[in-house]
Each structure stands twice: as C-alpha cells, then as structure tokens.
Amino acid sequence: MKFQIEDVTVYFPYDHIYPEQHSYMVELKRALDAKGHCLLEMPTGTGKTIALLSLITSYALSKPSNPIKLIYCTRTVHEMEKTLAELKLLHDYQVRHLGPSARLLAVGLSSRKNLCINPAVVSAENRDSVDAGCRKLTASWVRALAVENPNIPTCSFFDNYEKSGSEAILPPGVYTLQDLRAFGKQKGWCPYFLARHMVQFANVVVYSYQYLLDPKVAGIISKEMQRECVVVFDEAHNIDNVCIEALSVSVRRQTLEGATRNISRMSQEIERFKATDAGKLRAEYNRLVEGLAQRGNLPIGDTWLSNPALPEDILKEAVPGNIRRAEHFLSVLRRLVQYIKGRLLSENFEKESPVSFVASLNAQVGLDQKTLKFCYDRLHSLMMTLEITDTDEFLSIQTICDFATLVGTYARGFSIIIEPYDERMPHIPDPILQLSCHDASLAIRPVFERFQSVVITSGTLSPIDLYPRLLSFNPVVSRSFTMSLTRECICPMVLTRGSDQLPVSTKYDMRSDPGVARNYGRLLLEMAAVVPDGVVCFFVSYSYMDAIINTWNETGILKEIMQHKLVFIETQDVVETTLALDNYRKACDCGRGAVFFSVARCFLRTSLLCRGKVAEGIDFDRHYGRLVIMFGVPFQYTLSKILLARLEYLRDTFQIKEGDFLTFDALRQAAQCVGRVIRSKADYGMMIFADKRYNRHDKRSKLPGWILSHLRDAYLNLSTDMALHTAREFLRKMAQPYDKTGASGKRTLLSQEDVEKMSSAGADEAMF
C-alpha cells in the first residue's frame, strides 16, 4: 500500500498496516524532519523493522536532492539477515511502483568468518583465526613474495578482486550475506573486501553495533560515512552495556604470560630484520616521525583496525620519540607488562582512577600518558613492519596495548579494578586487573555528534527517560507505543504468595527458604497440569536454578512435573543448550508438552552484559511458549566490583540513584525474558512474575507500557490458586474463535483507505 505522511509518500509492502506502525512512522518522520535523535519503544511482533525501513527509504526517495543514507545496526547476524530479507521485499515493492528510479544498493557487512568464501580459510574455528588465515594470504608482503615464488599461496578471490580494480562493484540491489557470498563465488571476487568497499556507496548498510561503537572496528569501516546518515540501533535495550563493554579491558596472568611470549617473538623478528632487511625498520622509523595519519594509504589487505579514540590532530603528530625505534617500543611494553604483573600480586582489592594509575606507572617505570596513548597504533605498525600474519597468536599483547591506549586517553569515566580472587570463590586465587568503563556515553558520543539522526528502538526501553541520561543525549522524540489487539491475548500476572499464603521471593534472605522453593515448585506443577504445550521458566542465575531444581528433585516435585511435561534445561554449554532446545520444540510439536528451565542472567566477573543465551536470543512463540514464569527479580550480582564502581559513577555524574538503576536494569531483563513468549498479534501467552517485590509500584512501573496496559488490578498480588484460576479463564477465552481482522470491534488493521481518512482528518484538524 501507498499513503501520505505529510509531504512524504510512504511505500509499504503489505495491504494492511497496524495503527501503531503508522504512529511509529509519524514520530520517526518528525525526528528526521528535525534532524534529531529519537527513542522509540514498540513491542516485538508489531512490525517495527518494516515500519522503520519503509519510512526511512520512502523519506529518502521523496527528497532526491538531499539523499540520506541508512545505517541499520543489529545485535546478531541472524537479525541482520532478517532485516535484509524484509528490505528485499520492500525494495521489490518500491521498484514495482516507481520503476528503476527506486533502485537502491543495500549491503550487509559482517566479519570475514561470515563472508569468506575461501574454503581453506573459512573452516578455521573462530573469528580471529579466520582473520589471521586471510591475512596470511593477502598481506602485501606475502603477495609480493608470491609474485617471485608461485609456491607461496595467496587467495585467488582477493587477487581477482584487486585485478578488477574499479570494475569490482556491486550492481544495485539488496544483498544479504548469503547473496554476497554467492555473488563473490560467481565473479571470483572476495565478498568481504567487496562489501567493505561498497559500504561507502550503499544507500543502506546493515551491520553489527560494533562497527559503530567499538573504536577498534569503527575507524576502518565507518569513517567514510557522511553526516547525512540515519543510524538505527535495533533491539537497543542493552545499548549502554554494549557501549561500556566496547571500552573495557581485562588482564589476567595468562594475558601477561602470552604478552611476554609475544614480545620475545617480536624481539627475535627485529634481530632477524636487522640482519637481513634493516631498511624496513628504518623506513618505519621515518614514517613514525611523520605521524600515524598517513596509514590511511596502506594497501587494503594491510589496514589494521584504527583507533579513533585518538583525535585526528594527534594522529598527525609525530609518535613519541621513546617508542619510535622498534626495540625501544618493546622495552616500553616489557616495562608495562612487568608493572602490571607486580600489581596483580596484590592480596587486596584495589580500585583507582586512570590518572592515579598513570601517575604511579610514570613514577615507577617511567611511562607517561602520551606514550601509553600511542601503544595501540604503534604495536600494529610494528607487527606490519615485522610482517607478522598470524595475528591470532598476538591477542595477548594486543590486549595490553588496548589497555595502555585507553588508560592513556581517558581520564574520566573509568576505573582500574584489581581483584585477587572471585568474590564467589575466595579460596581460589585468580587475580585480574580490569579497566572498567562506567560511562556508556563515551563510546556512543561520536555517533550522536557525527550523524544527523540516531534512532534507538526496542520492545523494552522503559523507563524511557533514563536512556537519554545514561547515553547523555537529547532526543527530539521519545515515545512508547502499545500493541493494538483485537483480543486480550497477553495475560501478565504478579504472584506474591503460594497456596499456603507464604510470600515468595528470591530476595537474599528468602533465597534458601524451603517454603519458597516448595511454593515455586507447586506453582510450576499446577500450571504444567493446565497449560498446554510449552512452558518456559526463567531463574535469576545458574546457581539459583541448580539449587532449586535440586530441591525439587529431592522433594519429588520434579518427578510430578515430568508426569505432565518433559523437562529441558539450559546449561553453559552452547551445543548442549541447542540440543535441549531442539528436543523441547519436538516435544511441543508432537503434543507431549515440555518445560524449559533457563536463566535470565549469568554472572561473569569481567562483564555486566552476560545474559542467558535463551533469555536474549530465542523466541518461544505460539505453542512453544504458552506460559513464561519469571522466578524472582533478575538483579545483577550486587557485590560485583565493576557494578559497584559503575553505580558510584552514575550517582556522582548523572545523579542516578543506585536503587533506581538496579531496578531499571532488573526489570528490563525481566521484560525481555517474558517478552519471548509473544512474537506476533495472532499469538497468545501468559506471563507470571513470581516474586512479591513485583507488586510494589516502584518496581512494576518500570515494566514497558505494553505489559503494564494488560496488567489489571485483578492480576496483582495473586496466590498460586488465584493464578491458576486466572490461567484457566484466560485459556478458555483464547480457545474461542475470534475475528482476526477486528472488523467487528477494535480496528487493529488499517487499509489504505483508513490511513488516507486518518491523514485527511489530521490535515483538517491542523487547518482548523
């Protein structure tokens, strides 16, 4: 269908549109008109992606004199492929209606692991090995040697791509990663380098968050992008954590041992070069006197991931004299590694600011802030001069240099935290030094400053006023939409008590209460008996899940549950969990019914981002999830030193209280978990928040609007039998036939005519 939103003709590839999709587009257009940033919350299953793509591409088509480019960031490759598939559909529709003038170029960009077509390279087990495998075949010195010695292997796809020169381009169209690989095979060109090259010409680029947020990756890919770009961060509810993760580094003993080995190997290489080809080292020295900025002219196979943490003017400066010579630089690295080794011997927990860390580093081993700042780029320059291609062997020294550059660049927003052991296992020494970023705005600020409109969107952004503070930006539009439904197909409930009226909670002092474990068990048992097909349970952590399943096993509840449904469990092993999920689906498909136990969070010492695999990425739509039970409130591990330091920073800098942030973070995670159960409007499902704390207004109110709008008073403060009664009623109602178009009652699908009427009514209102 085709309709007007003010001066823009929107091409939408379906015959009907949801009212919230229309409103979403109206708000998005306002933000684009104002050339500002926006925050939009809309539940999953309401067609957010297609609304975004339709509006932005139609907006670009309506303003040919002022072309805008769309950069669409997704969290996973799967989401990237889904987005490109939707765009393909939309593009076909636009071309059918507008002819060739609507043609655009859209590419998905991912790492070599996902794009490489050289079978000898792509079979390597991880991303770093594929990158290194590619470098071994494409580095300029390797190819120069191969010219003289045909026995030295190179990559024919890269050679053909280079030979084709300016002819190596992608014709207009929408290319998923699979399409790129197929095109590359057909032409004999490397799809990875082709896609990287085409990014600057494409109208739409779909890639992962890291290409914009991680300074190590962002510089090489995104520096060509002009200001007239609309950047979309989809599923952005965790964007603050992604930002801080991108700028945080952890160093363990193993890292230091690896770094020492790397330094020795580089030292040997330097000696070898001195004996055979000292000119290369001299040339590097001369280049470094000129500054780092000239590295942009390197052959494409050699470019290293530049570090935009360093502003351009610094790049033009000469590299500090004490690290220009290769052997001097290695001596600096040796001293740095030695110093960190000494710090890791500490038997106490330590926390300090980057400024005091650099001061003591200077006093003890004579390394100043400017030297540290250049370490990242200096290392990569040296690795290139020494013609090192097995870069995956050098990850340890790269980590040390990442650390040095960050600590030398940022004076605020970071802490250095040294912990001799994991709080949860105090008897096992496992020292770690972490440079922990607390300020999400540092990584995302360049994006807000550089691009005209940044759209942050997800199904869970509540409370919506907190994100602008965490990311420190001013949105011109900030809206939350609810889902229009023809029937009440979502049934959230807050369960506070068991059948015996004893309160249930995972609060610290109640966690090991046998009454709580019993009541949780009875709740699941009774629900398993009445709810058909799939039931998903989320626990607050692995350790809590283990403990409670043990108790249920000992008391025989688990056996009783298994009489109604098969039981599957998420473990920390990805393969095992995937297998369990497959079997869970099979059990739901064949009518046996199943329960899936999974975790809302896993706790890593080095990360605040770690969520259960299932909680973040797996959908339990339709019969795969008729009920989801969230046992407890998934707070972060509040004794984590990184978390405590971040909370302190948030309080001092943004005036966000600890309690507010923790509750917000726990509730967004709970909403993400329960939201897995509804993925479209034709679906139906129940959500039980099983903890007395959800009944408190200050907690509950932080749930997204689309859940709150269905959380009636009658569904609050329930006991197990009341919840059971509500569940039976709900399932009975859902079993009745209903009018899917909503023609008889509420309009949840709008035709072109309806939209036109709405637009003209809006125009009339505006006129009078």
* Minimum CB distance to ligand SF4 smaller for 164 or for 472: 164
Please list every residue from 458 through 477 that binds ligand SF4, using CB under 6 A.
none
380: Cβ contacts below 8 Å, ≥ 6 apart: 304, 305
Kindly indicate which of the ranges 155-163, 415-423, 444-452, 649-657 contains the residues binding ligand SF4, using the contact rule CB under 6 A.
155-163
CB of 623 to ligand SF4, least distance (A): 41
Assess contact for 664 and 463: CB atoms under 8 A.
yes
CB of 135 to ligand SF4, least distance (A): 8
Cα dihedral across residues 692, 696, 699, 704: positive or negative: positive
* Minimum CB distance to ligand SF4 smaller for 211 or for 329: 211
Please list every residue from 201 through 240 that binds ligand SF4, using CB under 6 A.
none
**For residue 3, what are its two tokens?**
């309709």
* Minimum CB distance to ligand SF4 smaller for 134 or for 494: 134
Interface residue with ligand SF4 among 158, 207, 544, 631 (CB under 6 A) is 158
Longest dimension (CA), the chain: 87
CB of 180 to ligand SF4, least distance (A): 11
Query: CA nearest 667: which of 710, 696, 624, 627?
Result: 696
CB of 137 to ligand SF4, least distance (A): 5
* Minimum CB distance to ligand SF4 smaller for 190 or for 401: 190
- 599 pairs with which residues across the strands? 539
CB of 467 to ligand SF4, least distance (A): 37
Binding-site string for ligand SF4 from residue 661 to residue 690, where x marks contact by CB under 6 A and - marks none: ------------------------------
- 455 pairs with which residues across the strands? 38, 232
CA atoms of 173 and 104, how far apart (whole Å): 6
CB of 550 to ligand SF4, least distance (A): 48
CA atoms of 532 and 235, how far apart (whole Å): 30
Kindly indicate which of the ranges 113-121, 200-208, 222-230, 406-414 contains the residues binding ligand SF4, using the contact rule CB under 6 A.
113-121
* Minimum CB distance to ligand SF4 smaller for 116 or for 361: 116
* Minimum CB distance to ligand SF4 smaller for 193 or for 233: 193
Interface residue with ligand SF4 among 50, 61, 104, 190 (CB under 6 A) is 190
SS3 content of the chain, % helix, strand, coil (to 5): 55, 15, 30
Determine how β-strand 249-252 pairs with β-strand 429-437. antiparallel
CB of 215 to ligand SF4, least distance (A): 23
Assess contact for 10 and 760: CB atoms under 8 A.
no
* Minimum CB distance to ligand SF4 smaller for 132 or for 599: 132
Token pair 């520096």 is at which residue?
A: 223
Distances (CA, A) of 492 to 483, 527, 535, 622, 628: 14, 14, 14, 16, 9
Assess contact for 227 and 298: CB atoms under 8 A.
no
Kindly indicate which of the ranges 15-23, 117-125, 390-398, 640-648 contains the residues binding ligand SF4, using the contact rule CB under 6 A.
117-125
Q: With 0-12 CB in 10 A as exposed, 13-18 as middle and 19+ as buried, what is 709?
A: middle
Assess contact for 524 and 561: CB atoms under 8 A.
yes
CB of 302 to ligand SF4, least distance (A): 12
* Minimum CB distance to ligand SF4 smaller for 117 or for 249: 117
Whether residue 150 has a cis bond before it, omega within 30° of 0: no
CA atoms of 167 and 161, how far apart (whole Å): 9
- The DSSP code sequence of 78-123 is HHHHHHHHHHHHHHHHHHHHHGGGG--EEEE---HHHH---HHHHT
CB of 81 to ligand SF4, least distance (A): 19
Assess contact for 645 and 680: CB atoms under 8 A.
no
Please list every residue from 298 through 337 that binds ligand SF4, using CB under 6 A.
none
* Minimum CB distance to ligand SF4 smaller for 110 or for 460: 110
Assess contact for 237 and 672: CB atoms under 8 A.
yes
CB of 307 to ligand SF4, least distance (A): 23
CB of 395 to ligand SF4, least distance (A): 19
CB of 204 to ligand SF4, least distance (A): 23
CB of 139 to ligand SF4, least distance (A): 11
> How many degrees, rounded to 5, is the angle at CA 462 between CA 460 and CA 466?
125
CB of 446 to ligand SF4, least distance (A): 28
**For residue 526, what are its two tokens?**
């009774």
Token pair 């500002």 is at which residue?
A: 36
**For residue 281, what are its two tokens?**
């080292």
* Minimum CB distance to ligand SF4 smaller for 210 or for 598: 210
Query: CA nearest 458: which of 42, 70, 51?
Result: 42
**For residue 261, what are its two tokens?**
């080995």
Question: How many residues of this chain interact with ligand SF4, rule: CB under 6 A?
Answer: 14
Please list every residue from 532 through 551 that binds ligand SF4, using CB under 6 A.
none
**For residue 241, what are its two tokens?**
């954590």
Integer-rounded Cα radius of gyration of the chain: 28
Contact status: 118 vs ligand SF4 (CB under 6 A): yes
**For residue 13, what are its two tokens?**
């590839």
Interface residue with ligand SF4 among 51, 55, 107, 116 (CB under 6 A) is 116
Interface residue with ligand SF4 among 121, 170, 470, 629 (CB under 6 A) is 121
CB of 380 to ligand SF4, least distance (A): 18
Interface residue with ligand SF4 among 51, 53, 117, 633 (CB under 6 A) is 117
Please list every residue from 562 through 621 that binds ligand SF4, using CB under 6 A.
none
* Minimum CB distance to ligand SF4 smaller for 157 or for 414: 157
> How many degrees, rounded to 5, is the angle at CA 409 between CA 405 and CA 413?
115
* Minimum CB distance to ligand SF4 smaller for 10 or for 134: 134
Kindly indicate which of the ranges 185-193, 224-232, 351-359, 679-687 contains the residues binding ligand SF4, using the contact rule CB under 6 A.
185-193
Kindly indicate which of the ranges 112-120, 266-274, 504-512, 729-737 contains the residues binding ligand SF4, using the contact rule CB under 6 A.
112-120
Interface residue with ligand SF4 among 69, 112, 252, 692 (CB under 6 A) is 112
Please list every residue from 122 through 151 that binds ligand SF4, using CB under 6 A.
134, 137-138
CB of 116 to ligand SF4, least distance (A): 3
210: Cβ contacts below 8 Å, ≥ 6 apart: 217, 218, 246
Binding footprint of ligand SF4 on the chain (CB under 6 A): 112, 116-118, 121, 134, 137-138, 155, 157-158, 190, 192-193
